[in-house]
A = this chain, B = another copy of it.
Amino acid sequence: MGLLMSVDVAVVGATGLVGEALVELLDECDFPLGNLHLLASGESAGKSVPFRGRNLRVRDLAGFDFSSVRLAFFAAGADVVREHAPRATAAGCSLVDLSGSVAGPLLLPALEAGAVAALTLPAQLRAPCAPAAEVAEVLAALSPLLDIQRLAVTACLSASQLGREGIQELARQTTELLNARPVEPRLIDRQYAFNMLGQVGAADASGHTAIERRLHDELGELFPQLKGQLQVSCLLAPVFFGDALNLSLRAVAPIDLEAVCAALENAEGIELVEDDYPTVIGDALGQERIYVGRVRKGLGDPCELNLWIASDNVRKGSALNAVNLGALLIKHYL
C-alpha cells in the first residue's frame, strides 16, 4: 500500500477495547493514514492517546464533523452506531462498522476481497463479529474440501466480549472472592468469577442472545450453503481475553484428515497446532492469526470432524479485519 494516497480517518469508540486495538494496528501496519481523529463519548473527550510520538486528543463523537474524513471505523455499541453512522454517510464518509448494525455488505477480508468491486460510495461495510470471523476463516479453508451437512459451534467467550466494563467486572469479582468478601454483582447479575455462565447478555423470547444471532446470521451470510445447518451457542467463561471455540461438523462423506490439516496449514490467517492444543494465553493473545488445534475425526462416525480455535477476539477477530477492510476500500475507491 506504500504508493497509495493517504486518507484521513476517524475511529469511533477509540477508548474501547476494540478501538484501542484499531489505533495500535493503524500505527503498526502499512496503512495509508493521513490525519487520525479519535472519537468517544463526552466523558472521554480531552483524554490523550500517544500515537506515533505525538499525543492525540480524544474528541466527543457528538460534535464531530464527518466531512473532515474519508473513512471512519465504528467500534462502539450498536445504538451509538445506529445514531451516528447516518451522519457519516450524509457527509460522504465511508465507514467500516464493527457492531453489526449498518445495512451495507458483510465482508471478511480473508474470504472475499473481490466483493469490494461492487460498492458505491460512500460505502458502509460490516465487519463480522469476532467468533464469526474466526469460524469463517476455518470454513473458508475447509469448504472447498468438505460438503458440510451440519456445523455446531460452541463459543466460550471472555470478559472482553463485554468490552472494557466486562474486564473490570471479572477483575473486581475475582478480587472480592479471593479476599473472602461477598461477591457483589454489577454488570453481570450473578457470580461470574470462577463460574461458567451459559449465556452472554439477555436472551430474546425464543431464548437466543444477540451475539448468538449475530454469529449465526453472519455465518449464514458468508456461507449461504450452510443456512439452516448451523447450531450456535455462546457461553461466557471467567477469563479476561480471547475466544475459545469448539467446532463439531458432519460432512456428507468420510473426512480425509490429512487433506483437512493441509488446507488449514496453507490458510494464511491460521496457525495449525498439531499434536498439542493451543490456548489464548499461551498462543493467540496479541497475534494476527487464529490458532487451530485438536483436529480430529469423530469417535463413532467417520464423517465427523472436530476442532478447537483459540483467538485474540479483539485484535485478530475484530480490529485486524476492520483495518484490512478499510485498506481494501482505500485501495479500490478512496
Q: Which A positions have Cβ atoms within 8 angstroms of B?
A: 150, 152, 154, 156, 158, 174-175, 178, 190-191, 194-199, 203, 206-208, 212-213, 216-217, 220, 227-233, 235, 237-240, 242, 244, 246, 248, 250, 277-282, 293-301, 304, 306, 308, 310
- Report which residue of A194, A217, A220, A298 has the largest number of chain B beta carbons within 10 angstroms of its beta carbon: A194
Copies of this protein chain in the complex: 2
Is there an interface contact between B233 and A306, defined as CB atoms closer than 8 Å? Answer: yes
Complex CA distance for A228 and B216, rounded to whole angstroms: 26
Complex CA distance for A37 and B237, rounded to whole angstroms: 40
Residue of B nearest to A191 (CB): B281
Tell me the minimal C-beta distance from A200 to chain B in angstroms.
Answer: 10
Ordered by A's residue number, 21 sampled pairs between the chains whose C-beta atoms are within 8 Å are: A150-B150, A152-B152, A152-B231, A152-B248, A191-B282, A194-B238, A196-B280, A196-B310, A197-B279, A198-B244, A198-B279, A198-B310, A199-B308, A203-B294, A206-B299, A228-B301, A231-B301, A233-B248, A233-B306, A238-B238, A238-B239
Complex CA distance for A30 and B266, rounded to whole angstroms: 62
Is there an interface contact between B239 and A294, defined as CB atoms closer than 8 Å? Answer: no
Complex CA distance for A282 and B297, rounded to whole angstroms: 36
Is there an interface contact between B304 and A207, defined as CB atoms closer than 8 Å? Answer: no
B residues near A282, Cβ cutoff 8 Å:
190-191, 195
Tell me the minimal C-beta distance from A310 to chain B in angstroms.
Answer: 7
Is there an interface contact between A195 and B281, defined as CB atoms closer than 8 Å? Answer: yes
Pick the contact of A277: B198, B293, B301 (CB < 8 A): B198
Is there an interface contact between B198 and A294, defined as CB atoms closer than 8 Å? Answer: yes
Instruction: List 8 A-B pairs, minimum CB-CB distance, nearest first.
Output: A207-B296, A196-B244, A154-B154, A198-B308, A195-B281, A152-B152, A198-B277, A231-B248
Is there an interface contact between A246 and B154, defined as CB atoms closer than 8 Å? Answer: yes
Is there an interface contact between A299 and B213, defined as CB atoms closer than 8 Å? Answer: yes
B residues near A277, Cβ cutoff 8 Å:
197-199, 203
Is there an interface contact between B246 and A295, defined as CB atoms closer than 8 Å? Answer: no
Complex CA distance for A293 and B197, rounded to whole angstroms: 11
Residue of B nearest to A151 (CB): B152
B residues near A308, Cβ cutoff 8 Å:
198-199, 233, 235
Tell me the minimal C-beta distance from A104 to chain B in angstroms.
Answer: 22
Complex CA distance for A208 and B306, rounded to whole angstroms: 10
Pick the contact of A280: B158, B195, B281 (CB < 8 A): B195
Pick the contact of A235: B156, B194, B203, B295 (CB < 8 A): B156
Complex CA distance for A158 and B194, rounded to whole angstroms: 9
B residues near A248, Cβ cutoff 8 Å:
152, 154, 231, 233
Is there an interface contact between B237 and A199, defined as CB atoms closer than 8 Å? Answer: no
Is there an interface contact between A298 and B231, defined as CB atoms closer than 8 Å? Answer: yes
Residue of B nearest to A304 (CB): B231
Tell me the minimal C-beta distance from A6 to chain B in angstroms.
Answer: 40
- Report which residue of A174, A198, A300 has the largest number of chain B beta carbons within 10 angstroms of its beta carbon: A198
